[in-house]
Amino acid sequence: MLTQRSIRKSSLLLIYAMEMQHTDPEKIREFPLESYWKLVDEHDSRRYEKILARAALHETRSLEELLATARARLEAIEKYAAWNNQAQVTLTRGRVLLDRLADIVKSMRSLRRQMEDEAKEHTLPLIAENSRKVINACEGLCLPIKRDLEELEKETHDTAAAWAGALRRVLKMAEGCAALNHPEQLERRHEHADLIRHVENKRERRPLTEELAQAVYARRGEWEQLLNKLLRNYVPARMNAIDRCILYLALYDLMYRKLDPGIVISEACILADEYSGGKSAPFIHGIIASAVMQSNPESEQPDH
């Protein structure tokens, strides 16, 4: 579930984008939201790929063991295939399958080494690329493996049955990994928790962000008038743009959402520390406190 803080942070960034585009509050619906969210998605993709890589590592953790077992079964079926035509066909497909599995094992070994040193920024694109290759390869393997199983299940020889058993275990792994391409359909297992949460948050975030950001920015003129009264020997236009946007959001929380002044100040200062720097927080704190005092002269000044 999205937190109120994460929604507020996402809304602030959208308000800032509107401010930097000099969007007319009366024409707020004309703001290019699709282009904005495309940029946001590109920024988020690095974190998403990292989560995806971890999920792929988990799903394929037993791949090397499965490959070793399958190769042992392959050696056994080679003798059986010498006098069984259907087994010869299956053997040929099996060799191709195991070669592809070997490539996946190689990729996963490389991926594990990189994940151990994931702090290095330059490794992230390669991690993402490798994990995608593994997941897509697994997705491509599922159908051929199922076809092999359909043919092998017609065989009655114990060797063919053993080979089929090895393929079933590989199929289970491949289907689990392939499912990562469709996280919205994943079973709610703890191994998938981060991936599912990321997808659900992304789906929920956009409408909530747009609703709050548009409500705040539509009243931009009101906030400018109020800031003109609160600022002495200073005009809002001279203020850092991100600070103005933090104040727009804080004033909306204060005036329309009727949030507790202490909470409003605390959240605004957290945003200032993250996006504007430590010097902005006391400045923003003072302005919001002044707004509180002006709206309710008898109230005590809220603590940060």
As a whole number of angstroms, the distance between CA 243 and CA 276 comes to 7
Q: What pTM did the predictor assign?
A: 0.69
Instruction: Name residue, tokens 């008038």.
Output: 225
Q: Which residues contact 249 (CB under 8 A, 6 or more apart)?
A: 8, 11, 12, 15, 216, 268, 271
State the Cα–Cα distance between residues 157 and 83, nearest whole angstrom. 12
Instruction: Please state which CATH class domain 4-31+196-295 belongs to.
Output: mainly alpha
DSSP state of 23: -
The answer to whether the CB of 171 falls within 8 A of the CB of 149 is: yes
b/e map of 167-196 (b: 16 or more CB within 10 Å)?
Answer: beebbebbbbbbbbeebeebeeeeebebbb
All CATH 1.20.140 domain ranges in the chain, comma separated: 46-181
CATH 3.30.70 fits 46-181, yes or no: no
pLDDT tens for the chain, residues 1 to 304: 678 899 999 999 999 999 999 999 999 989 999 999 988 888 788 778 888 888 888 888 787 888 888 888 877 777 666 656 666 766 777 777 778 778 877 777 777 777 666 555 566 667 777 788 888 888 887 777 777 777 767 766 677 777 778 878 888 888 888 888 888 888 888 888 888 888 888 889 999 999 999 999 999 999 999 988 888 766 666 788 999 999 999 999 999 999 999 999 999 999 999 998 778 899 899 999 999 988 765 555 555 4
C-beta separation of 186 from 205 below 8 A: no
CA dist., res. 8 & res. 249, Å (int) = 8
Structure tokens, 29: 């619906």
